[in-house]
Chain A
Amino acid sequence: KAGVTQTPRYLIKTRGQQVTLSCSPISGHRSVSWYQQTPGQGLQFLFEYFSETQRNKGNFPGRFSGRQFSNSRSEMNVSTLELGDSALYLCATARGTNEKLFFGSGTQLSVL
């Protein structure tokens, strides 16, 4: 059974650009959530999607957005990149609510 797949693994962008990250969940998992990990702030919740609907959102500016497709795959987008957006972005999936979360390997984003 394939795990959570995130692409790309590494990204280098410059300030002002935008970026799209992708997450393919484990088969049968309908909940997809995104987290940002930085040395200073640790792991922080960005948002969660279930059946193509955003159910919850963390305390991040509107430049961070996401969506989920009918096959449960999810994308997150960051527009007008800032240096502080440099981080490891992790996707986590689960079958449903209050269930065990499984994480992908993450996308390491560097903003120059």
Chain B
Amino acid sequence: GIQVEQSPPDLILQEGANSTLRCNFSDSVNNLQWFHQNPWGQLINLFYIPSGTKQNGRLSATTVATERYSLLYISSSQTTDSGVYFCAVEFGGTASKLTFGTGTRLQVTL
């Protein structure tokens, strides 16, 4: 079946460090989105990125659709970056039916 795999599952960083999160998907996608779930459960949309590269402050993302993966870069990490990062993809159809990966749990320490 359709699969979305994220790595690493867990990551601990010191404040100021950089990191790369990876999302692999098993089929061609119509869209791909990255989300951050904070400790209170709120899911924040970071990027809508079916292909190409985007940047937003300390965060950037790249999706290589032909090779079926996406990367999320976090630079100069801060404690507020802690939480779970999800990659979600839509494989087809007309509806907003996203398939989520299992997430990368990030903890940023002082």
The interface of chain A, by Cβ under 8 A from chain B, is 31, 33, 35, 42-45, 48, 50, 55-56, 58, 88, 90, 92, 94, 97-103, 105-106, 108
- How many chain B residues sit at the interface, stated as a range, is 20 to 34
- Known contacts: A98-B31, A101-B33. The answer to whether A48 contacts B45 by CB under 8 A is no
Per-residue interface assignment for chain B, residues 85 to 107, with 1 indicating a CB less than 8 Å from any chain A CB and 0 otherwise: 01010100111111110110000
Partner of B48, one of A31, A100, A105: A100
Report B23-39 CB contacts with A as 1/0, cut-off 8 Å. 00000001101010000
Tally the A-B contacts, defined by beta carbons under 8 Å.
64
Whole-angstrom distance between the Cβ of B61 and the nearest chain A Cβ: 13
Q: Determine chain A's interface SS by DSSP, over half rule.
A: strand
Give every chain A residue within 8 A of B108 (Cβ-Cβ): none
Partner of A55, one of B30, B45, B95, B102: B95
Chain B neighbourhood of A88, CB < 8 A: 41
Q: Give the Cβ gap from A21 to chain B, nearest Cβ, in Å.
A: 15
List B residues at the A interface (Cβ < 8 Å).
Answer: 30-31, 33, 35, 40-45, 48, 86, 88, 90, 93-100, 102-103
- The residue of chain B having its C-beta at the shortest distance from the C-beta of A50 within the complex is B95
What's the minimum C-beta distance from A90 to chain B, rounded to whole angstroms?
A: 7
The CB with the most chain B CB atoms within 10 A, among A31, A44, A94, A98, is that of A98
> Of all chain B residues, which has the CB nearest A33?
B96
CA–CA, A99 to B52, complex, Å? 16
Query: Which residues from chain A contact B97 at a C-beta distance below 8 Å?
Result: 33, 45, 48, 56, 58
Q: Which of A97, A101, A106 contacts B41 (CB 8 A)?
A: A106
- Contact: B98 with A45, CB < 8 Å? yes
